[in-house]
Amino acid sequence: MEIIQISNLTKRFPMGKGEFTALKRIDLTFGKGEFAGLVGPSGSGKTTLLNIVGSLDVPSEGEALVLGNSIGKLNAKQAAKLRKENLGFIFQSYNLLQVHTVFENVEFPLLLLNLSASERKRMVMDALEWVGLTDKVKSKPPQLSGGECQRVAIARAMVKRPSLVLADEPTANLDAANSHNILKTMEKLNRELETTFLFATHDEKVISYLHRKIYLLDGKVDKDEVVTVN
Ligand code: ADP
Ligand code: MG
């Protein structure tokens, strides 16, 4: 089943008296369980495309179907429902709640769903186990390293077992060892839970883990490369 179907998608932003075209007639399809990335230089349109897939923005022309939902046609409530039930987000800046514990940060997306406290606890502890942080449940983000913070963010993105995780430059604030660590974690979750991952990145370390690399250049798909794994 196709999880994402992008057809003839163009995105323009108002700029001064005119417009700037950030994405130009993009056609892309992603199936369930892919571990793929939008790669390319800064300004090539990676974040713009990821934001549309994440229903945080809408196409100017063309269509983005995400799990059967046409992104430009959803109202705010429908877009919020899609995000809350099916999507996980990982950002370069972690976006953790600083005064809350690791447990509370990971529990946060579950509060929007109709679950009992004991169900939430079990899901949070499972997610912390996936990222190797069960001993830090009571810590708060200021007491953690950058690598640990990003692992909390991964647990938060994964806790409800979303079908699709979107990760925008997830290693931007991490050193090499921590970058490899979180990439191995995400690869494992992709394999074991069949979660589809879509990255936006220009980090060579991330790129080396991707099973499919979509090179963007000036808002166009320059190359779409599937890596054959032996
Ligand atoms: P990348 O993530 O590949 O670095 P972006 O998708 O952030 O690139 O940006 C692509 C282009 O679109 C850039 O030239 C950027 O300046 C422009 N752009 C992005 N968002 C906006 C916006 N809200 N308004 C105007 N221009 C934007
Ligand atoms: Mg970007």
88-106 average pLDDT score: 94
Residue 20, amino acid? F
Task: Read off the tokens for 26.
Answer: 């993009």
pLDDT higher than threshold 80 for residue 229: no
Residue pair 112/189 in contact (Cβ under 8 Å)? The answer is: no
Q: What atom in ligand 1 is closest to the CA of residue 219?
A: 10
Burial of 62 from C-beta contacts in 10 A (0-12 / 13-18 / 19+): middle
Nearest protein Cα to ligand 1, atom 7: 47
C-alpha of residue 12 to centroid of ligand 1, in Å:
10
**Cβ contacts of 39 within 8 Å, gap of 6 or more:** 46, 199, 201, 202, 207, 210, 213, 214, 215, 216
Separation between Cα atoms, residue 125 and residue 176, nearest integer Å: 27
Token code pair at residue 228: 């054959």
pLDDT of residue 174: 86
Ligand 1 centre to CA of 57 (Å) is: 12
pLDDT in tens, 138-159: 999 999 999 999 999 999 999 9
Q: Cβ distance 193 to 165 under 8 Å? A: no
> What tens digit of pLDDT does each residue of 106-135 get?
999 999 999 999 999 999 999 999 999 999
pLDDT per residue over 77-92, tens digit each? 999 999 999 999 998 8
Q: Which among 21, 47, 53, 168 is the best mutation to test ligand 1's pocket, defined by most ligand atoms within 8 Å of the CB?
A: 47
C-alpha–C-alpha distance, residues 220 and 8, integer Å = 11
Residue 20 pLDDT level (bands cut at 50, 70, 90): very high
Q: Which ligand is nearest to the CA of 15?
A: 1
Sign of the alpha-carbon dihedral angle for 215, 220, 221, 223: negative
- What's the pLDDT score for residue 92? 85
Residue nearest to atom 19 of ligand 1 (CA): 48
CB-based burial of residue 108 (10 Å sphere; 0-12 exposed, 13-18 middle, 19+ buried)? middle
Query: Tokens standing for 58?
Result: 């809408």
pLDDT tens profile 191-201: 999 999 999 99
Is the pLDDT at 230 greater than 70? The verdict is: no
Residue ranges lining ligand 1, Cβ < 6 Å: 13, 15, 20, 22, 40, 42-48, 200
DSSP H helical ranges for the chain: 46-53, 76-86, 102-107, 117-130, 146-158, 176-193, 204-209
